[in-house]
Amino acid sequence: MRLVVVGGGIAGLAAAHRAVELARERGIALELTLLEARERLGGTIATERMGGFLVEAGPDSFLSEKPWALALCKRLGVEDRLTRTDDRFRKVYVWRAGRLHPLPDGFQLLGPTRLAPFLRSPLFSWPGKLRMALDLVLPRGGADDESLGAFVRRRLGREALERVAQPLVAGIYTADPDDLSLAATLPRFLELEKRERSILLALWRAARTAPQPGTSGARWSLFVTFKEGMEELVATLASRLPVGAALVKHPVTGVERRGEAWRVDIDASGPMAADRVILATETHVAARLLRYVDPSLATLLGEIPYASSATISLGYRHADVPHALDGFGFVVPRIEGRALLACTFSSVKYPGRAPAGHVLLRCFVGGALDERILELDDASLARRARDELGQALGIKAEPVLTRLFRWPAAMPQYHVGHLARVETIERRLAGLPGLRLAGGAYRGVGIADCIRAGEDAAERALGAVG
C-alpha cells in the first residue's frame, strides 16, 4: 500500500510512525512517503543548545493527563529520557497593577477550590470576590456552546475573566476569550455546570477527593518533557521511519483524486501516486490543496482561523535576577496593556535548562489579542520583552543570551461553533475514501492531541487493509 503523509510536524510524524507499526503488525507491504515543505521536521517543535542553555523554540512539554504522548513514548522505549517538573515550584503569578501576585493556592483556571487563600488574595477586589460567590446561587445556562468570555462573565464576573481566566487561557490558546469555544477547549466546565449547576461548588467537591500535588504517587507531573528538549521526540520518531521515507524541502502543490487512488503533486520532484493520503498540515494549507477535490470541504477548512505568536528566551546570571523565581512563571492580563502574554521560568520548571549560576526565562508575545506587536523587528521585540521582564522581576542587567522565534499563523483558533464545523468537515471527508486529516486544528491543540490525531488518521487509513 502506498501511503503519503503531507506535513512533517508532530501529527504527521505520529501518523507515519503509527502506519509503520500497523503495517508490521498486520503484514502489510507499506510504501511510505512523508513530505515536509520546510528544511526540517518537527513543525513548531525545535530545541537549541547555546552556551549551556537549552532553549525551546516552540512547545516545551506535553500534558501527562492526556495519555497519547506518554503511550507513544513507552512504545518508542524513551520513557527513561523524560523528566518531570519540580512540584515544589508549582506557583503561578499574575502581573496585576505593576506587581506579581501569586494565583491563590488551589485556583483551577476559572475558579478557586480553597476558600481561605482566595479570600486573602489581593488579586481580586472584595466586590469581585462577592461577584464570584454569586455563582453559588445562579441558575444553569442553557447553551450547548458559548464563548469562554461569556461563560466566565455569566458565572463568575468580569474580574474573574480579566484578571485570571483571560491571561491563563491566552497562555494555552493565544486566543480572545470572547471568540474561544468553551465546548471545544474546556468542556469540563460546561459539563460541571450542567451536572452540578454551580462551578464553585463543583470545583470544591472535586478538590476534596483529588490527591494533593506530590502525594498521589504518580510517576509523572502534569507537564512532562524530555531531558534534552522536545526535539528528542521528533528525532526519535524520524529515526523509526524507513530509510528515505521522510523528505524535507518537498512542498506539495496539489492533491488530485485519480479513480480509487490519489495523485500528490510535489514541487521538487513531480507527481506521486498514492493509495492513501494523510494531510497533517495547517487547515489553510489543506484548504489550498483540496480546493479542486472538494470546494465545500476546502471552504470549511479555510474558515478555521490561526493566530501568530513569538517566543523570546532570555538567559541571565542568577545574581542579576532579584526575584526569587519560586514558581513556574507568570501570566499577564490583557487589561494591563503589556506586550508580554506570559513568562515561563524555564530553568525552574525543568532541570538542565541553564548552566550553573544562570537562569533561563521564556517570554510569549502576540496571539489573537495582540498580533500587531509582531510587526516590530526582532531587535525591537526582544527589547520590549526585556524591558517588561525588568519591570516584572526587577532585572536591570543585560541578558547573556537572547533567542527569538516567530510562529506566523501557527495556532488554530477554536471559535464558538468549532465542534460543529469539525463534524461537518468529517462528514465531507467520509465521501473521499483514502483521504484523512490530522493536526491541531480539529479536536485539540496540544502535543498529545496532535499525536492522537495523527495515529487515528493512520489507523483509519490502514483500517481496510490487511
* pLDDT tens by residue, 261-270: 999 999 878 8
Average pLDDT value over all residues in the chain: 94
Structure confidence by residue, pLDDT tens digits, 142-171? 788 999 999 999 999 999 999 999 999 888
Q: Which residue has the cell 502525594?
A: 215
**pLDDT at 246 (0 to 100):** 98
Structure confidence by residue, pLDDT tens digits, 72-110? 999 999 999 999 997 776 789 999 999 999 999 888 888
Question: SS3 sequence, 25-85?
Answer: HHCCCCEEEEECCCCCCCCCCCEEEECCEEEECCCCCEECCCHHHHHHHHHHCCHHHEEEC
Structure confidence by residue, pLDDT tens digits, 201-240? 999 888 877 655 554 446 788 899 999 999 999 999 999 9
**pLDDT at 210 (0 to 100):** 61
**pLDDT at 114 (0 to 100):** 86
Domains recognised in the chain with CATH numbers: 2-43+233-304+415-461 (3.50.50.60), 105-209 (1.10.3110.10), 306-412 (3.90.660.20)
Within a 13 Å sphere around the CA of 158, how many CA atoms are in the beta-carbon half?
A: 4
**pLDDT at 107 (0 to 100):** 87
Give percent above pLDDT 70 in the chain: 97
Q: Please name which of 304, 67, 10, 357 lies closest in space to residue 184, comparing C-alpha atoms.
A: 304
CA–CA separation, 68 and 59 (whole Å): 16
CA–CA separation, 306 and 40 (whole Å): 22
pTM of the model: 0.94
